Structure 1
Amino acid sequence: MSALLLRNARLLDPAAGEYTEGDLRCAGGRIVETGTGLKADDVPVIDVRGGVVVPGLIDAHVHVTASTADLGSLPAQSPSYVAAHSVNTMGRMLERGFTTVRDASGADFGLADAQAEGLFRGPRLLFCGRALSQTGGHGDSRGRGTYRHDDHPCCAGLGRIADGVDAVRAAARDELRKGAHHLKVMASGGVASPTDRIDSVQYSAEELRAIVEEAEGANRYVAAHAYTARAVNRALELGVRSIEHGNLLDDRSVELFLEHDAFLVPTLVTYWALKEEGREHGLPESSWRKVDEVLGAGLAALERAARGGVKIVYGSDLLGGMHRHQNHEFRLRAEVQRPLDVLRSATSVAAELVGMTGEIGTLAPGAHADLLVLDGDPLADIGVLAAPERFRAIIQGGVPL
């Protein structure tokens, strides 16, 4: 059943930021029309009785294969075991209203194809394959006493190590060969990596430029993990399209985002969750101690970026058992952003980042019929989106869950 008619709805298209009263009809998994008094034409009808209808949500920074916060243990796990966990994780994401997700390293074409073919219920999956990391970078999960890196060809790890311009070109081309929607690069240190500093800058300018060139040649783009202003600014200057995290950005960063028409994907909820319960979900003690370096700065960075007019996209970056907090990001962002801007970050602005404007994140005819029916007004209370129990219906491709 991909044909459906919603009656008596309050339709909220994020781009316009205004409500219209009426009906919405879908067929063939797409939105066909909106208006008043639409004919049912023998399709199923749901009378939502004044419920608010918004586009399905988009989370642009997830790790669906991260079944634990101990990322270093993933390469030792069976790929089939990781895939089973991923199916469960994606199903739960759909139940939280996320009908499209962008994986920021770990997922591959197998999971994306299986979801698209209907082998399991989950959000549409935009994947990058494995993130590119220098030796000793954020994507290098080896401890100091480990020499060899097991680059298993399947999906059980998040990163792949490549050093030097020729090697990073080959790695980028390989991920693109496997169908990557974007490339992910580790441009600074991070919390979950065992041997680097958060304030380190990773990859040379020549290596980063080569990765960007390969992505642009394939009509794709690069997303960069980066925390400090030094790492963020260099990545933007070299043509990176989206900065992941950006907790320690500065005023010059804001200028560069605007100059290069780039996007910021903050992930506030993961630091909150890692601090609260990261260790019980596998985060090593040494990584847990790093959390404080970025925890308090994230909200200030978001406020600075929002005030400066940066395009901001929704991301969660949760790991293992902490995935259940995915919607809490709405509450955290509402501390410094207007509810409408937070909603746009998870719909229309996210769609622009991933190159799917008009396809997702909108109620316009022709878009995928990915819809949420809410019991409340998200422009008055963004907490409606943070509480899936207040979703009257979740519809993907015209099919209610």
Structure 2
Amino acid sequence: MRPGQGQKLFRNLRLLDPEQDGLSEGIEILVEGTRIREVSDRPVAASGADVIDCGGRTLMPGLIDSHVHVVLNEVFLPRLETQPLTLMTAHAMAEMKAMLGRGFTTVRDTGGADWGLRQGVEDGLIEGPRLFVAGRAIGPTGGHSDGRRRTDSAIRCACCDALAFTLCLADGADEVRKAVREEMRQGCDHIKIMMSGGVASPYDPLDSLQFSMGEVRAAVAEAEAFGRYVCAHAYSPEAILRAAEGGVRCIEHGNLINEEAAAAMAAKGMFMVANLVAYFTMKDRAAEFGMDAGMLEKNDVVIEGGLRSLEICKAAGVPVAFGSDLLGQLRGAQSREFTIRREVLPAIDIIRSATTIGARLLKKEGELGCIAPGALADMILVDGDPLADISLLAGQGEHIPLILQNGHLVRNRLQ
């Protein structure tokens, strides 16, 4: 991630501050190096700065996608068994560049990406979003992290292929503890565990309960000992309640949540990351890429509860971050999540999910997801008002002529 140099002064803009309900006029913003130095409703004096005339467009924080898989480049995950780690990495680099081009300056990977990809971005070797990584997603034998065929008896080494690289099996509290410690040793930002069945895994029912309370508590204790936290793949109310009792900080998916589970999450100060676009897009296209009828049947179940889960969480006061969770050839639909959520939520709530709430989840309040003095200079410029038309954030960045990441102009189509 290349750092910005010198000063940049942004003028003639409308500011979309997610902390406010509307746009602000007459604002000037001074960026110095990698950070925002000044946000003022008066002219800013900066004689040596490069002046950027925004042409009355909307300037807002860079977007945060809190649930991606940059290395999972196949919809039907078993195909990753035939892929070497080198090709996996090449695919990841291409997708990360595309994500940045859609305005996502930060993403949280929830299974697969490691510290090497994160460092590649930080060193400027890879053009892509700032990465927060979970490393290998940890689950029990036969669960959502078990990618083996029924004819496989052994567990392959993580260096064997792309599928083995992204998943980890652990059974019993001691194995879970060791697996979490290994991911911490590898420099992960958070730990991902599996607590219910999943759509993309072939053998586990959606309502299956994965990881016992002892295993969950072991994972949480080890993550917290390193100053990190645990997020849990969970759909059903039973799995969500178990996660809340065990000290998990964030639920991934949560489509089948009910009022009781949402109340438990709110009482514990938990987050949820919804990713409805994954299910709608899989229903439309996943069969052509190898997803079988059993997986698609599970997908239909979680679609039914998806939009209602947003309403339940809002009523309970559970903060819901923006996520996409798309696999392989479907990842280009990432920004469709904005328009899907608009069916039940106002635009400002959706934008907050992809800015301020994402920053809180990452424990980066005041640094990411905001435009304020001292914050990292991650900003995007939008043609029009996303509060009036959220679809301006959809697509492949067609309505985003300028992207600033870490103070560096990644894109500038104004001239």
TM-score band, normalised by shorter chain: over 0.9
Q: What is the distance in 2 between the residues matched to 1:12 and 1:378?
A: 9
Query: Is 1:156 aligned to residue 165 of structure 2?
Result: no
Instruction: Normalising by structure 1, report the TM-score.
Output: 0.97
**In the alignment, does 2:140 pair up with 1:134?**
yes
Q: How many angstroms does 1:297 deviate by?
A: 1.1
| 1:102 corresponding residue in structure 2 | 108
Match of 2:351 in 1: 343
Equivalent residue runs for 1:2-401 within 5 Å: 2=5, 3-20=7-24, 21-35=26-40, 36-153=42-159, 156-157=162-163, 158-387=166-395, 388-400=397-409, 401=411
Q: TM-score, normalised by structure 2?
A: 0.94
Amino acid at match of 2:65: D
What amino acid maps onto 2:113 in structure 1? A
Q: Is the 8 A contact 1:139 1:186 kept in 2?
A: yes
Residue 95 of structure 1: how far off its partner (Å): 0.3
Q: Is the 8 A contact 1:236 1:260 kept in 2?
A: yes
User: How far off is 1:307 after superposition?
Assistant: 2.2
Mind listing any 5+ residue stretches in structure 1 that lack a counterpart?
none
Q: Where does the alignment leave 5 or more consecutive residues of structure 2 unmatched?
A: none
Kindly tell me the number of residue pairs found equivalent between the two proteins: 401
Note the alpha carbon deviations across 1:53-107, whole angstroms, 9 max, x for none: 1100000000000111121232441111000000000000000000000001000
Amino acid at match of 1:314: F
Residues 83 and 161, structure 2, Cα contact 8 Å, conserved in 1: no
CA 1:155–1:252 in structure 2 vs 1: closer, same or farther (change >3 Å)? farther
CA contact (8 A) 1:134 1:203 kept: yes
Give the CA deviation at 1:280. 2.0
- What residue identity is the alignment partner of 2:197? G
Task: State the 1:153 CA deviation.
Answer: 4.3
SS in 2 for 1:278: helix
Deviation digits for residues 261-312 of structure 1 (CA, Å, limit 9, x no counterpart): 0001111000001110012233234322321111111111111111222101
The runs of 4+ residues in structure 1 deviating greater than 4 Å are: none
SS of the equivalent of 1:7 reads strand
- Report the 3-state secondary structure (helix = DSSP H, G, I; strand = E; otherwise coil) of the residue aligned with 1:290: helix
SS in 2 for 1:203: coil
Cα distance in 1 between the residues matched to 2:76 and 2:372:
42
Query: How large is the RMSD of aligned CA atoms in angstroms?
Result: 1.4
Give CA deviations for 1:109-152 in whole Å, capped at 9, x if unaligned: 11000001000210000001001110000010112222122131
What is the one-letter code of the residue matched to 2:85?
A: P
Please give the alpha-carbon distance, in whole angstroms, between the structure 2 residues aligned to 1:331 and 1:139: 30
Are the counterparts in 2 of residues 23 and 38 from structure 1 also a CA contact under 8 Å?
A: yes
